[in-house]
A and B are shown apart, each in its own frame.
Chain A
Amino acid sequence: EVQLVESGGGLVNPGGSLRLSCAASGFTFSNAWMSWVRQAPGKGLEWVGRIKSKTDGETTDYAAPVKGRFTILRDDAKNTLYLQMTSLKIEDTAVFYCSTGYYYDSSGYLRPGYWGQGTLVTVSS
């Protein structure tokens, strides 16, 4: 069974930094492209970014609002995904979800992957 458990959320001052973690199990983490998605309180879903597998170059892509401030990292030995956040703004307040990204089902159709339960980040003074 796929399990994704996020941690590291909390209260941080504007301009501060925080690192989120996502512990993964139930699948071959090293082969997976992983993503982060966030949701501001009472608002919709926003894709944050993704990291490819090491085999595929471990390259990253980010949404414009976080590019240059957020960094996605992975530790395949620990089956853990990270989101390093710096220069945090009040508008970064959100629940952050870790996701397994997208993969092909048994029929060869590309489908979204699994999500964790999320961790809340509050940016406030």
Chain B
Amino acid sequence: DIVMTQSSDSLAVSLGERATINCKSSQSILYSSNNKNYLAWYQQKPGQPPNLLIYCASTRASGVPDRFSGSGSGTDFTLTISSLQAEDVAVYYCHQYYNIPYTFGQGTKLEIK
């Protein structure tokens, strides 16, 4: 199984500042035939299902504000929120859909400092 490890379980950032969440996979999730990384990022707020933010490591899902961006390739990935807003307080998960069983990172709880 591919293990997804997020670098921190929690993170506190000031409003308006940049927030960065890192995720590492135990093996490459780069699909060589199309050069796409099958890595997604989700945001989850209490009592709600996860909301897709980013897929293929760097493609923003429809309706997602452009302050959210994804980067990385192979085994190392990053979710960046360029200017933290109060409504961004949530738990963020990375997710690989390269191999079954699909797996998720443990989650990073983002809070306001």
Q: A residues bordering B, Cβ < 8 Å?
A: 35, 44-47, 50, 61, 63-64, 97, 102, 105, 107-112, 115-118
Contacts and interface: CB of A to CB of B under 8 A. Distances in A.
Interface string B96-111: 0100111111110000
Contacts, number: 55
Q: Chain B interface residue count: which class?
A: 20 to 34
A107 B59 CA distance: 11
B55 interface: yes
A47 B103 contact: yes
Interface in B27-66: 34, 36, 38, 40, 42, 48-50, 52, 55-56, 59, 61
B104 A44 contact: yes
Interface of B: 1, 34, 36, 38, 40, 42, 48-50, 52, 55-56, 59, 61, 93, 95, 97, 100-107
6 contacts: A45-B95, A61-B101, A110-B36, A111-B40, A111-B55, A117-B49
